[in-house]
């Protein structure tokens, strides 16, 4: 038998359509989605053909198809977000199936509050953080502070050393016992609704494994050109490869790596954006339902897609990895690219195109190119 593995990776700075492609690939029965990096700051949108919409943070984007989710040790869990999203999905008629590695890092409310406080103190030099304490959680674990009842004092001492003065409102929140008690309740809820494992060979029970990366190649922690406006994780092929290598597979593997891009670029928050332009230069009529303005990352930024650099990025990431190569281009109804140049650059690759919000709108390049062009807004 042959095990079917798909690896979905954002080719840019996030918001490319990874949730859409994960939903597309997970339609087959007995599928599982592996959330291979990041944590609850991911926001992958899925719209079902019958109009149910959800932004996935803590669960794989194949959940509507009945696919299970796996949170490996590279994923940072957040009990508060898990609890909220689990109940949201239940209200939408879905009962998520979740596995998690026992070595996952766990974010606390104190990590989240510290994230807000540090970002506020940066003023105009803010990094564009999502405000969910991802970086703070990682640094806390590196400092070997893993006992939850020690986290509050860890941050209060850290603020004092760094000369950060807390406002009265932050002091009140930090010393609110109810916040910690609520966190423990959320932690219990999460542990009651996941299956914890250390042996990743359980993945053998699934016929289709979809790795769903978060953020995008431009935000990878090793892209020093954009430092410090990065995400503290490996956003490309590195994590999926390592997870695959950790499993003692019973079958041969058929691996397809699929990079995803919009027809244009977007970016959240501060940081370099060489091809940035006014939204009207892309499409004045379009509206992004997921990426609404917020105090942490401000308004979504837009830019032109450089096809040559796109190709260079994905080639550098996939390297000589033995796999089937694919590229997906989404939002084809909002902006045109040079189809001839795109086709030449990615000659020999599987090419998918999408001009809508659901997996039914994904078409093979040869079958759908003309139809997509006619549906430009």
Task: Say yes or no to pLDDT of 53 above 80.
Answer: yes
Cα angle, residue 166 at apex, residues 164 and 169 outer, rounded to 5°: 160
Averaged confidence pLDDT in the chain = 92
pLDDT tens, position by position, 186-235: 999 999 999 999 999 999 999 999 999 999 999 999 998 888 888 889 99
CA–CA gap between residue 286 and residue 297 (Å, rounded): 20
CA–CA gap between residue 275 and residue 265 (Å, rounded): 8
Do 296 and 308 sit in the same domain of this protein? yes
Cα dihedral 85, 91, 93, 95 sign: positive
Do 305 and 178 sit in the same domain of this protein? no
CA–CA gap between residue 377 and residue 364 (Å, rounded): 20
Quick one: average pLDDT of 58-78? 98
Contacts of 99 (CB under 8 A, 6+ apart): 32, 68, 69, 70, 71, 194, 195, 196, 197, 202
Do 61 and 83 sit in the same domain of this protein? yes
Do 283 and 174 sit in the same domain of this protein? no
Q: Which of 191, 209, 240 is the last residue of a domain?
A: 191
What is the reported pTM?
A: 0.92
Q: Which of 133, 167, 191 is the last residue of a domain?
A: 191
CA–CA gap between residue 257 and residue 301 (Å, rounded): 27
pLDDT of the residue at 284? 93
Residue with the larger pLDDT of the pair 376 and 95? 95
CA–CA gap between residue 174 and residue 196 (Å, rounded): 30
Do 200 and 216 sit in the same domain of this protein? yes
Going by C-alpha positions, the residue among 351, 259, 273, 255 that lies closest to residue 310 is 259
pLDDT of the residue at 126? 52
Q: Tell me if residue 309 falls in helix, strand or coil.
A: helix
Lowest pLDDT segment from 131-135, 235-239, 276-280: 131-135
Residue 150 belongs to domain with CATH number: 1.10.300
Residue with the larger pLDDT of the pair 40 and 299? 40
pLDDT of the residue at 128? 53
Residue 368 pLDDT level (bands cut at 50, 70, 90): very low
Rg (C-alpha) for the chain, rounded Å, is: 21
Q: Where are the beta strands (DSSP E) in the chain?
A: 2-10, 31-35, 44-47, 53-56, 68-71, 76-77, 98-101, 105-106, 195-197, 208-212, 252-262, 265-267, 276-277, 301-303, 324-330, 350-354, 362-364
Phi first, then psi: give them for residue 230, nearest 5 degrees: -130, 175
CA 101 to chain centre: 18
Do 36 and 73 sit in the same domain of this protein? yes
pLDDT of the residue at 343? 92
Whether residue 67 contacts residue 31, with contact meaning beta carbons closer than 8 Å, is answered with yes
Do 205 and 93 sit in the same domain of this protein? yes
pLDDT of the residue at 131? 77
Give CA torsion, residues 152, 155, 157, 161, to 10 deg.
-170
Residue 307 pLDDT level (bands cut at 50, 70, 90): very high
Do 116 and 89 sit in the same domain of this protein? no
**pLDDT above 90 covers what percent of the chain?**
85
Whether residue 360 contacts residue 49, with contact meaning beta carbons closer than 8 Å, is answered with yes
Do 153 and 213 sit in the same domain of this protein? no
Contacts of 321 (CB under 8 A, 6+ apart): 237, 241, 257
Going by C-alpha positions, the residue among 5, 99, 8 that lies closest to residue 317 is 8
Range of the domain at 120: 105-191
Task: Say yes or no to pLDDT of 90 above 60.
Answer: yes
Residue 359 belongs to domain with CATH number: 3.40.440.10
Do 62 and 6 sit in the same domain of this protein? yes
Give how far Cα 85 sits from Cα of 18, 198, 231, Å: 19, 24, 22
pLDDT of the residue at 370? 41
The reply to whether omega before 215 is within 30° of 0 (cis) is no
- Terminal-residue alpha carbon distance, the chain: 45
Q: Which of 165, 191, 217 is the last residue of a domain?
A: 191
pLDDT tens, position by position, 317-351: 999 999 999 999 999 999 999 999 999 999 999 99
Do 271 and 331 sit in the same domain of this protein? yes
Report how many domains make up the chain: 2
Residue 287 pLDDT level (bands cut at 50, 70, 90): confident
Do 24 and 43 sit in the same domain of this protein? yes
């Amino acid at each position: 038998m042959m095990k079917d593995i798909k690896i979905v990776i954002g080719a840019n700075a996030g918001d490319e359509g990874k949730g859409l492609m994960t939903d597309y690939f997970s339609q087959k029965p007995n599928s599982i989605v592996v959330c291979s990096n990041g944590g609850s700051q991911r926001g992958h949108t899925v719209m079902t053909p019958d109009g149910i919409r959800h932004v996935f943070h803590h669960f794989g984007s194949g959940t509507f198809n009945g696919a299970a989710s796996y949170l490996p040790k590279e994923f940072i869990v957040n009990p508060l977000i898990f609890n909220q999203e689990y109940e949201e999905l239940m209200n939408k008629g879905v009962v998520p199936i979740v596995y998690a590695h026992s070595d996952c890092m766990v974010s606390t409310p104190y990590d989240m509050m510290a994230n807000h406080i540090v970002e506020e103190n940066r003023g105009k030099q803010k990094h564009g953080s999502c405000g969910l304490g991802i970086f703070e959680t990682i640094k806390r674990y590196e400092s070997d502070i893993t006992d939850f009842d020690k986290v509050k004092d860890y941050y209060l001492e850290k603020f004092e050393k760094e000369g950060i003065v807390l406002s009265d409102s932050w002091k009140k929140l930090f010393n609110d016992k109810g916040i910690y008690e609520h966190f423990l309740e959320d932690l219990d809820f999460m542990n009651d609704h996941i299956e914890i494992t250390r042996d990743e060979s359980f993945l053998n029970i699934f016929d289709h494994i979809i790795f769903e990366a978060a953020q995008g190649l431009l935000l990878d922690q090793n892209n020093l050109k954009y430092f410090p406006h990065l995400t503290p994780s490996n956003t490309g092929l590195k994590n999926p490869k390592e997870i695959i290598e950790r499993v003692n597979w019973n079958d041969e593997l058929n691996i397809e790596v699929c990079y995803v891009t919009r027809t244009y670029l977007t970016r959240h928050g501060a940081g370099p954006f060489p091809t940035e332009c006014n939204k009207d230069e892309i499409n004045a009529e379009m509206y992004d339902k997921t990426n609404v303005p917020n105090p942490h990352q401000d308004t979504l930024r837009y830019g032109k897609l450089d096809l040559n650099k796109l190709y260079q990025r994905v080639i550098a990431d996939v390297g000589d990895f033995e796999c089937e190569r694919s590229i997906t281009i989404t939002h084809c109804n909002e902006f045109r690219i040079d189809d001839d140049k795109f086709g030449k650059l990615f000659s020999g690759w599987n090419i998918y195109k999408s001009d809508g919000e659901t997996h039914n709108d994904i078409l093979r390049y040869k079958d759908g190119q003309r139809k997509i062009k006619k549906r430009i807004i």
